[in-house]
């Protein structure tokens, strides 16, 4: 009977260690792709934000017309409590909705984002409010030198008279009777999302303020799964700032652990409180988790004490 109790205690130790050492947070969903504004590559520093149920869940900025492509700029949406599978993610560029996608743990998705509008940024490919040829020639073009006015006719004539130039045309009261005609331009359609929808952004270059002829900006489509691109060598680990990450199959980076005391890029391990790289295996786990060791010892002592007490009572 004593042997059975000891075996039970040993089994309990294994379960406790396994649950403590190998419990991991939910696997995130990684995204990356090109970003265009008004039909051209987005300027650096534009905000890219992902939302779920209207709440920000991840954000980054554009670089070289892309997001999430470079080391240190990995863009992934976490799933700490494992509750986000199947939820719809909405992507915004400069505050304008660009696309949506369904969250799936462990996926690495190539998702291009395209939006149109006046973002008030020099380099967003539209000459918007507050911009001019002098402040942003990149959007508004080079300033032109105005033609020299030679007086419009023989000198000496009275202003506005027969020899003093021409009189502007128009109504008697000086107003112009014109109807604003909408002139809509649209971005390319986004990739078809898993929910069967695609999106684009349309703007009226004449800013008429009406939408009688506004094109549709979202429509249904047929989603075609794409083969996951390879982004890393399968089985490799890296220290990304203070996070230890692993590449399980070559298609995404899995967050293994957020290192409280920093990550040792040489040993590719989280550091202990003393600043040294934490050893691997059981010993390493208990070195970095002394509370777990104490708790396990208490459980073993309680079981052994119960065994001795039970034998005395027989």
Tell me what pLDDT residue 112 has: 94
31 pLDDT band, cuts 50/70/90, is: very high
Q: Which of 143-152, 218-227, 286-295 is predicted most confidently?
A: 218-227
Tokens describing residue 312: 């005395």
How far is the CA of 213 from the CAs of 5, 181, 184, 185, 216, in angstroms? 80, 10, 8, 11, 9
Residues 200 and 252 both lie in one domain? no
Residues 104 and 46 both lie in one domain? yes
Residues 114 and 258 both lie in one domain? no
Tokens describing residue 160: 């506005």
| pLDDT above 90 for 100 | yes
Tell me what pLDDT residue 66 has: 92
Instruction: Report pLDDT digits (tens) over 225-245.
Output: 766 677 788 888 999 888 888
Q: How far apart are CA 48 and CA 36, in angstroms?
A: 12
Q: How far apart are CA 308 and CA 306, in angstroms?
A: 6
- Nearest to 56, CA basis, from 47, 65, 68, 64: 47
Q: How far apart are CA 310 and CA 312, in angstroms?
A: 5
> % helix / strand / coil in the chain, to the nearest 5?
20, 25, 55
Is residue 71 assigned to a domain?
Answer: yes
Instruction: Report pLDDT digits (tens) over 159-190.
Output: 444 444 444 444 445 455 578 999 999 888 88
The angle subtended at Cα 119 by Cα 115 and Cα 124, nearest 5°, is 70
Q: How far apart are CA 239 and CA 219, in angstroms?
A: 42
Burial of 43 (0-12, 13-18, 19+ CB in 10 A): buried
CATH (domain of 64) = 2.60.40.10
Domain of 64 in residue numbering reads as: 26-120+184-206+214-220
Tell me what pLDDT residue 81 has: 81
Q: Which residue has the higher pLDDT, 223 or 62?
A: 62
Instruction: Report pLDDT digits (tens) over 260-288.
Output: 889 998 888 899 888 888 776 444 444 44
Residues 99 and 48 both lie in one domain? yes
Contact 296, 17 (CB under 8 A): yes
For 100-116, give the secondary structure using H, E and C: EEECCCCCEEECCEEEC
Is residue 151 assigned to a domain?
Answer: no
294 pLDDT band, cuts 50/70/90, is: low
Name the residue with tokens 């190539």.
Answer: 110
25 pLDDT band, cuts 50/70/90, is: low
Tell me what pLDDT residue 299 has: 80
Tell me what pLDDT residue 167 has: 43
Burial 144-166 (b: 16+ CB within 10 A, else e): eeeeeeeeeeeeeeeeeeeebee
């Amino acid at each position: 009977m004593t042997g059975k109790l000891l075996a039970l205690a040993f089994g309990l130790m294994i379960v406790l260690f396994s649950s403590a050492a190998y419990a991991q947070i939910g696997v995130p969903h990684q995204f990356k792709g090109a970003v265009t504004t008004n039909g051209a590559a987005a300027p650096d520093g534009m905000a890219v934000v992902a939302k779920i149920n209207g709440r920000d869940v991840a954000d980054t900025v554009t670089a070289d017309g892309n997001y999430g492509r470079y080391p240190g700029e990995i863009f992934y949406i976490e799933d700490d409590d494992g509750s986000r599978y199947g939820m719809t993610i909405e992507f915004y560029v400069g505050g304008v909705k660009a696309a949506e996608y369904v969250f799936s743990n462990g996926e690495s998705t190539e998702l291009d984002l395209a939006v149109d509008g006046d973002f008030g940024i020099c380099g967003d490919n539209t000459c918007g409010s507050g911009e001019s040829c002098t402040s942003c020639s990149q959007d508004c073009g080079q300033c032109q030198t105005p033609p020299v006015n030679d007086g419009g006719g023989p000198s000496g004539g009275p202003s506005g008279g027969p020899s003093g130039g021409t009189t502007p045309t128009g109504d008697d009261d000086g107003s112009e009777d014109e109807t604003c005609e909408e002139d809509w331009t649209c971005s390319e359609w986004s990739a078809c999302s898993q929910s069967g929808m695609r999106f684009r952004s349309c703007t009226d270059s004449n800013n008429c303020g009406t939408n009688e002829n506004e094109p549709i900006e979202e429509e249904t489509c047929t989603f075609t799964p794409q083969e996951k691109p390879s982004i890393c060598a399968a089985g490799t680990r890296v220290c990304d700032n203070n996070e230890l990450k692993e590449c399980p199959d070559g298609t995404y980076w899995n967050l293994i652990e957020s290192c409280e005391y920093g990550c040792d890029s040489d040993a590719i391990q989280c550091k202990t409180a003393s600043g040294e790289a934490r050893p691997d295996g059981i010993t390493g786990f208990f070195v970095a988790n002394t509370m777990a060791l104490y708790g396990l010892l208490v459980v073993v002592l309680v079981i052994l004490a119960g065994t001795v007490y039970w034998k005395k009572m027989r």
